[in-house]
Structure 1
Amino acid sequence: MTRLEVTGVKGIGALFISFLIYLIGVINEAVVVLMFFMILDGVTGLLRAYVTKSWDSTIGFAGVVKKLGVFVMIGMAAGIEYMVMSVGQDPKGLVLLGVTSFFIVNEGISILENCAQIGLPIPAVLFNALEKMHRDPSGKEQRLIRSPMLDRIDKKELLKENEALHTQLNKKKEEEKKQ
């Protein structure tokens, strides 16, 4: 499957789960707030990429996939709540609220990080907390550093080489079939 097909399948799955959540009736204000925060995170992420001149479609695509995954997790939480309600218990929305609240906080931190990287004034306490979050207890940074070699690789040349290798493999298979 290609990336586009995988994204399509995940998108259809997310739509299906969202519709089921709607039918079950467990959409609450927290889910709406989470969706709003996700939109804000996407906008601030695009602004950060523009300001820092670090646009990378792979990172953007990974972010979209993660956001779809969040809705899958919320769908799972809604399913658990539905199961508990079907046996006569009333979870009072705590499972869904707990999962959704976790992701709201996560999106809020991401928005704050994007705003800090854009250059907006962030209170020192929050800025220091963000810096500490990117370090492990021993003080070593946990950020991923892109290999400088990757910047020198020309994607078009890689695709041409890959196509040539694929052609050679096909010829080899055809020769083996003839023998």
Structure 2
Amino acid sequence: MDHLKKYGINLVTAAIGTSGKEATIGGYIAAAGVFLSGLLGGWDQALGILLALMVVDYATGVLGAAKNKNLNSDIMYWGGIRKIVVLVVVGLGAMIDNWIQPGAPIFRTAAIYFYTGREGLSVIENLGTIGVPLPRAIHDFLTQLNGKGKDTDADSGSSKK
């Protein structure tokens, strides 16, 4: 019986910590998570994938900049701000959905899918920058995307030579 009592005490201590401070901090973090999830229209797999890609994009971008020896805190800061703005757009999409047609997340889903595609492309570009081998088709596609807008003169519409 003492064995079960010690196990119970260890379990409770692990859950709330040795003081109430850990439980309080955990409660605040949980409340913030619930609040943000509500603002973003709820937690689903699409939002989870978007957030995962945002984190991976940021990390691979930093690694690519470190490899090329051009780390810049200003660029990193504004990259983070852009990620926050993406989440604001998703939240606004959720609000518009609740206003126009509650229960039908059309604008939220469109925003998440759009930004998931952009983040995915950015991750692939960053992987190429880091030196991770990419399939030839992806490499050619990214090269083609990179060349768009560089071959024509916007003012005259003629090709640059």
- The answer to whether TM tops 0.5 is yes
CA distance in 2, matches of 1:66, 1:23: 18
CA displacement at 1:21 relative to structure 2: 5.0
User: % of aligned pairs identical?
Assistant: 27
Aligned match of 1:111: 123
CA distance in 2, matches of 1:59, 1:24: 26
CA distance in 1, matches of 2:40, 2:125: 35
CA displacement at 1:25 relative to structure 2: 5.0
Instruction: Give the alignment's Cα RMSD to 1 decimal.
Output: 2.7
Measured against aligned partners, the alpha-carbon deviations of 1:65-94 in whole angstroms (never above 9, x if no partner) come to 1001101100110001110235xxx42x22
Question: In structure 2, do the counterparts of structure 1 residues 85 and 26 end up closer, same or farther at CA, with 3 Å as the change threshold?
Answer: farther
Contact 2:64 2:126 in 1 (8 A): yes
TM-score by length of 1: 0.61
- Which consecutive unaligned segments of at least 5 residues does structure 1 have? 1-15, 142-179
Aligned match of 2:144: 132
Matches within 5 A, 1:50-89: 50-86=66-102
Contact 1:24 1:82 in 2 (8 A): no
CA distance in 1, matches of 2:79, 2:40: 28
Residue 43 in 1 paired to residue 59 in 2?
yes
Question: In structure 2, do the counterparts of structure 1 residues 119 and 24 end up closer, same or farther at CA, with 3 Å as the change threshold?
Answer: closer
Question: In structure 2, do the counterparts of structure 1 residues 66 and 24 end up closer, same or farther at CA, with 3 Å as the change threshold?
Answer: closer
Matches within 5 A, 1:139-178: 139=151
- Which consecutive unaligned segments of at least 5 residues does structure 2 have? 1-31, 154-161
Contact 2:50 2:115 in 1 (8 A): yes
CA distance in 2, matches of 1:140, 1:116: 25
